[in-house]
């Protein structure tokens, strides 16, 4: 990944350019809260917004984009098909619902939110049809490990362009980074700041002090230097702006390795093989 500035992109395996810094809007309330957060982000130079039908804020995301004054082509928008909507017919209906709520003609990226067992192959078949229809410019998956990715690739005709997984210094999943690199699938990380839990880590604080940056900025810069698209979430203007101010410094090889050493396979979310039980308990 060539890191330049807040407007930098990576090329997906179908040639589509995807911004490597985005705003996540998970748990951001629909209406004024999500619209304000997106306005702060767009004004700070972000051109990538990551939402999902499960977040229940697609309408606000769409309104914020339309009211921004930016051309539709200038903003990269991601949404996701939720578990209950998966399967072939359900996924075909889900994309139309999302587009209607967002008031958009197309999405830049559409993802399978979780790899629901027994329907994954059929869901991916629908994703391929949606991609061929032009309703989305790229397709991919979230929250997968190797065997789930293998199922999609072996049974499908179009290779995923993106895999979005939980990714932070305590959950490196080097095997998945290597898997995606080998297959030319772009890796993207959610919960890059580990829901704030990583920010008090002394190694990261020491590196932050050296660079005169915040711990969050160190972690986000680490994401990019690992070749991972990062989508930190916030509703606060100062934090959104701060999260984008990561292009005037570079971590050394030793500093990247120091942060890598924090990996202990700790998750804040569900494991891809056990998420059905996780959501059943909620």
Question: Cβ(93)–Cβ(74) under 8 Å?
Answer: no
Region 118-139: mean pLDDT is 98
Domain assignment present for 1: no
Q: Give the model's pLDDT for residue 275.
A: 86
Domain assignment present for 225: yes
Q: Give the model's pLDDT for residue 278.
A: 73
- 55, 110, 131, 187: which one is catalytic? 55
Q: Give the model's pLDDT for residue 281.
A: 64
Q: Give the model's pLDDT for residue 191.
A: 96
Q: What pLDDT, in 10s, does the model give residues 176-231?
A: 999 999 999 999 999 999 999 999 999 999 999 999 999 999 999 999 999 999 99
pLDDT at residue 280 above 80? no
CATH number, domain of 34, equals: 3.20.20.100
Question: Cβ(82)–Cβ(113) under 8 Å?
Answer: yes
**What domain range is 219 assigned to?**
9-280
pLDDT at residue 250 above 80? yes
The mean of the pLDDT values for the chain is: 97
Measured between its terminal Cα atoms, the distance across the chain in Å is 38
Alpha helices in the chain, H assignment, sequence order: 32-43, 58-67, 88-102, 120-133, 146-155, 174-183, 202-211, 215-225, 237-244, 253-260, 275-280
Domain count of the fold of the chain: 1
Q: What pLDDT, in 10s, does the model give residues 154-184?
A: 999 999 999 999 999 999 999 999 999 999 9
CA 208 and chain centroid, separation: 24
Domain assignment present for 2: no
Domain assignment present for 4: no
Full-model pTM: 0.96
Question: Cβ(16)–Cβ(45) under 8 Å?
Answer: no
241 falls in which pLDDT band (50, 70, 90)? very high
Domain assignment present for 3: no
**Is 55 part of the annotated catalytic residue set?**
yes
Share of the chain residues as helix, strand and coil, in percent rounded to the nearest 5: 45, 15, 40
Domain assignment present for 113: yes
141 falls in which pLDDT band (50, 70, 90)? very high
Handedness of CA 94, 100, 105, 111 (dihedral sign): negative
């Amino acid at each position: 990944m060539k890191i330049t500035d807040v407007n930098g992109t990576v090329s997906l395996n179908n040639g589509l350019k995807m911004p490597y810094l985005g705003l996540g809007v998970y748990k951001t309330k629909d209406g004024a809260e999500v619209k304000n957060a997106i306005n702060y982000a767009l004004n700070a130079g972000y051109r990538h917004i990551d939402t999902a039908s499960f977040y229940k804020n697609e309408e606000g995301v769409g309104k914020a984009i339309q009211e921004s004054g930016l051309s539709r082509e200038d903003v990269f928008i991601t949404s996701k098909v939720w578990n209950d909507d998966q399967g072939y017919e359900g996924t075909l209906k889900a994309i139309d619902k999302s587009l209607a709520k967002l008031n958009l003609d197309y999405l830049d990226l559409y993802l399978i939110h979780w790899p629901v067992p027994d329907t994954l192959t059929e869901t991916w078949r629908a994703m391929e049809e949606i991609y061929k229809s032009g309703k989305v410019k790229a397709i991919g998956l979230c929250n997968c490990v190797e065997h789930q990715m293998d199922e999609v690739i072996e049974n499908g005709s179009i290779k995923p362009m993106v895999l979005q997984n939980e990714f932070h210094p305590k959950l490196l999943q080097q095997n998945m980074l290597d898997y995606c690199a080998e297959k030319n699938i772009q890796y993207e990380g959610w919960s890059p700041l580990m829901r704030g839990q990583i920010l008090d880590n002394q190694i990261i604080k020491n590196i932050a002090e050296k660079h005169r940056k915040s711990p969050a900025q160190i972690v986000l810069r680490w994401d990019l230097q690992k070749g991972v698209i990062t989508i930190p979430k916030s509703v606060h203007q100062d934090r959104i702006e701060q999260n984008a101010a990561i292009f005037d410094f570079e971590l050394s090889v030793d500093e990247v390795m120091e942060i890598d050493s924090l990996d202990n396979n700790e998750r804040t979310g569900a494991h891809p093989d056990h998420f059905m039980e996780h959501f059943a308990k909620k």
